[in-house]
Amino acid sequence: MARRNAVVVLLCVATLITGCGDTAGSPPEIPRPQATPTIAPPPSPKLAPRLRFDIWGVNSYQDAVGSLRFLFEVRNLNDSAVEDVRAQVILRDAEGHMVGSQRAYARLDLLGPGDTAPIMIVFFLTAPEFHTYDVEIEAERADHVQSLLHPGLHVVDDTGRVGEWVPYEVLGSARNAGDSDAESVSLHITCYDEEGTVVAVGSGAPEERTILAGDSSDFLVSLGAVAGQVSNCKVQVEGLVVTND
């Protein structure tokens, strides 16, 4: 009986060893890294190209009341129209330090490709001493303004002359050649000397601020200050399309 029990014990021990396996001789299993999906970074935002302008005809002088005036024209060198054109003149001393700055908007609300507009910047009642100056131009690409302006306005029979009570005046007629009426019509004058330097900038309006389709209105714009001998002048006109809202 004792022998039979011993056999049973040996069989149980053998069964346990077989079931557990040879744990001492087997290397531990190393978990494999799991592949994770790669998320591509968002593309970098593309900067819009800087708007390009040309500036010429710059003239500066001190007027009768002691203000320093800068006159010049800006041309749109871009392939599309721009609006809200504005300029800043920065005055600097011999060491390059800023001694003054002023801003102003172009006289026209919209500049198409290649179009020009006059700008006058005034340092009111002061004329800081400066060695150099910088002119910076900013603008926006045309948006809603372009749809508001009347496309059929133009100037005819304009001429300039020395005024009886003012240094110079420009007269002529603004014509509406479009199919719709125009309102809030305004005129903008740029005068040059023989070398193309801007010597006067002015704005005015025709006798009738609203010009019906096919009609014309005369104008006379006086220039209160002229910084040189006037050789010729350019007259530009703008107005809004009359809506029936």
Spatial contact of 68 and 127, defined as CB atoms under 8 Å apart: yes
> What is the pLDDT at residue 13?
40
Cα angle 86, 173, 82 (rounded to 5 degrees) comes to 25
> What is the reported pLDDT for 117?
98
Predicted pLDDT of residue 30 = 59
Q: Look at the pTM and tell me if it is higher than 0.85.
A: no
Return the CATH architecture of domain 53-143. Answer: Sandwich (2.60)
Give pLDDT tens digits along the chain (245 positions): 444 444 344 334 444 444 444 445 555 665 665 655 667 777 777 766 889 999 999 999 999 999 999 999 999 999 999 999 999 999 999 999 999 999 999 999 999 999 999 999 999 999 999 999 999 999 999 998 999 999 999 999 999 999 999 999 999 999 999 999 999 999 999 999 999 999 999 999 999 999 999 999 999 999 999 999 999 999 999 999 998 76
Helix (H, G, I), strand (E, B) or coil at 158: strand
What pLDDT score was predicted for residue 42?
77
Three-state secondary structure call for residue 83: strand
Domain spans in the chain, listed from the N-terminal domain onward = 53-143, 149-241
**CATH T-level assignment (fold) for domain 149-241:** Immunoglobulin-like (2.60.40)
SS3 annotation, 192-226:
ECCCCCEEEEEEECECCCCECCCCEEEEEEEECCC
Query: What pLDDT, on the 0 to 100 scale, is given for residue 6?
Result: 42
CB atoms within 10 A of CB 96: 8
pLDDT of 202 reads: 97
| Domain 53-143 matches domain 149-241 at the CATH topology level | yes
As given in the structure block, the two tokens for residue 100 are: 């003054």
Q: What was the pLDDT predicted at 144? A: 87
